[in-house]
Chains A and B, each alone.
Chain A
Amino acid sequence: MTPPVKERWKFWLTTLLVFVVVGAAISVPIIRSRMKRAARLQQQTEEQARRELVQTVPMNPSDPRVKAKLFWLSDSDSSALAPVTVELPLSSDPVLRSKQVLNTLLAGPVDVELRTLPPDAVLLAFYILPDGTAIADFSEALATSIPSGIASEQLAVDSMARTLEANVPEVKRLKILIHGQEVETLAGHVDLTGTFIVHADTSQAPANPVAAPAAGKVGAIAAPTLTAGSSAVKLAQQ
């Protein structure tokens, strides 16, 4: 006996519906994961493009190899900085030289635990004003990826100031920008509205209020040439 025509339609419709539901249940998660992967790939490509755009200054092997001093965390005391001597072919041009040492600082030491700056931060631009004030513009990752806190933020800034101090005598002060903008703090604590003293023997006063790096009394995070007294820091009268 064959079922009546109406009954057969019902059967095929139900079967079709079952197939649709089963098919959807299988394919939706696959489509979703593919979409996620595509979005991630696109993000990576953007990041890669940005990195290529602001590609680190290549070291020129013909430049004389000098012993550069880079300041990362001390392996005996993680709340202090310690100099590490690295032999690098450094340019004699102060801007190129600054970019080379800052990029080496960003690349981090052999022991990643001792790094002071987040690995995904990029130096976007660097230039030096005639009065010796260096402007260093970093990607947002410097502010967003750094561990939040007074100690960690101060160590990050001090590692840059002391590395520039040790390797680029032309830089007198350091002003840090994030993605081309002046920001109030690095990650909620350390003041970035001023400039940081790099070489204490500044003959010209800066145009902005000065936020000096941690001064003398605290050996841990102090710039070595700074003294505890206020004589180390000179401010412009506004």
Chain B
Amino acid sequence: MLLDVGNSQRPRLLFILGIAFLFLAGAMMTHALQTPSQTQQSARSESSQIPTPPSGQSATPVPTGPQSSAQASQNGLSVVVLDPAHGGTDLGARGTGGIQESEIVMEFTAEVRKALEQQGFQVVQTRQANDNPSFDDRSAIANAQRNAVFITLHIASTGLPGTVRVYVNSDLPAVTTANGFIPWDRAQAPFLGLSRKLGDLVQGMLTQRFKGSPDTAQSATIRQLRTTAAPAIAVEVSSVVVNDRADLDHMASGVADAIARGVAAFKPLYVVPTTGGVQP
């Protein structure tokens, strides 16, 4: 037996065992802390084709040359970037019974993804887990895609429960630099017209299913949409203030179906804008 030693040896052995246990526990904790950041680093190196958002906002431009627009027009809309809002320490809206926006939007995203893939779209997500990429990081994922639209999903803390609102960014006059690039912080400007068309189509589909929702998309100054160089909308479901979480869960498939049908209806209208940001 390991501990079958003389009385005088026992405390020393126990002390050594204790030290060894502490050392092992420390090593395991260090390993556990390092693993996520390493995973993140490797994920970043894999997605090195994604342009890095600027350190100073207006520094890095979003290229939309004539070549890319011609290419886009030929290829047509094929990618939908889905953005489950919030995440990580940012829980978003919080309702009764522990309902958290950051958690529910992931469930909605899974449903929307399924419905869009059934329509033949390729879906890219801005987050897969309970983390919180910055607004710029999320936009960078969308801006790296060709022939894409961007949809950010939210659950409101106000509004009539059981209704859904679609938002497009408020007017942002296009500003182009001499070399034909769009400044990062105004990336949405040339796409506002298309965003409005996409928003109205998706809102129309949602209103058919969720009575009491508006007929057309609303305008709002949404930070996430401003730096996104693609037709971009925000979909906000009302609300976290429901008596039963199941009320929200029941809405997911209807919201997903309406978004997928709205995007499919938008597909023939999709062209990359040739004004504002494109060098002649």
A residues contacting B by CB (< 8 A) are: 78-79, 147-152, 154, 157, 184-185, 188-191, 193-194, 196, 209-215, 217-218, 220-222, 229-230, 232-235, 237-238
Q: In whole angstroms, how far apart are the Cα atoms of A156 and B248 in the complex?
A: 25
A148-B93, A215-B171, A232-B171 known; A157 and B221 CB under 8 Å?
A: yes
Q: Which residues of B contact A79 (CB under 8 A)?
A: 159-160, 165
B: interface residue count bin = 35 or more
A-B contact pairs, 10 of them (CB 8 A): A78-B159, A152-B157, A185-B223, A189-B223, A212-B172, A214-B170, A215-B171, A222-B219, A235-B175, A238-B183
Residues of chain B within 8 A of A154, CB atoms compared: 220-221
- On whether the beta carbons of B223 and A191 are closer than 8 Å, the reply is yes
Of B85, B92, B154, B226, the residue contacting A191 (CB under 8 A) is: B226
Contact among A189, A217, A237 with B175 in the assembled complex (CB-CB below 8 Å): A237
Q: In the complex, which residues of chain B have a beta carbon less than 8 angstroms from the beta carbon of A196?
A: 221
Of the candidates A149, A184, A230, A238, which one forms a contact with B236 in the assembled complex, judged by CB atoms under 8 Å apart? A149
> Interface majority SS on A: helix, strand, loop or mixed?
loop
A215 CB contacts on chain B under 8 angstroms: 170-171, 219
- Measured between alpha carbons, how far is A218 from B278 in the docked complex, in Å? 29
B58 to chain A, nearest CB (A): 6
Given A189-B220, A194-B221: 4 more A-B contacts, CB < 8 Å: A149-B239, A190-B222, A210-B172, A214-B218
- What is the distance, in angstroms, from A223's C-beta to the closest C-beta of chain B? 10
The reply to whether B220 and A152 form a contact with Cβ atoms under 8 Å apart is no
**Are A221 and B171 within 8 A (Cβ)?**
no
Question: With contacts defined as CB atoms under 8 Å apart, how many contacts are there between chain A and chain B in the complex?
Answer: 119
A-binding residues in B (CB < 8 A): 58, 85-86, 90, 92-94, 101, 135, 154, 156-160, 165, 167, 170-173, 175, 183, 185-186, 214, 216-224, 226, 234, 236, 238-239
Q: Does B220 contact A214, Cβ atoms closer than 8 Å?
A: yes
Given the interface pairs A151-B236, A188-B86, A212-B170, the reply to whether A217 lies near B219 with Cβ below 8 Å is yes
Give the chain A neighbours of B173 by CB distance below 8 A.
210, 230, 233-235
Of B154, B158, B239, chain A has the most CB atoms within 10 Å of the CB of B158
- B156 lies within 8 A of A152 (CB): yes
Residues A150 and B219 in contact in the complex (CB < 8 Å), given A188-B90, A232-B171, A233-B173: no
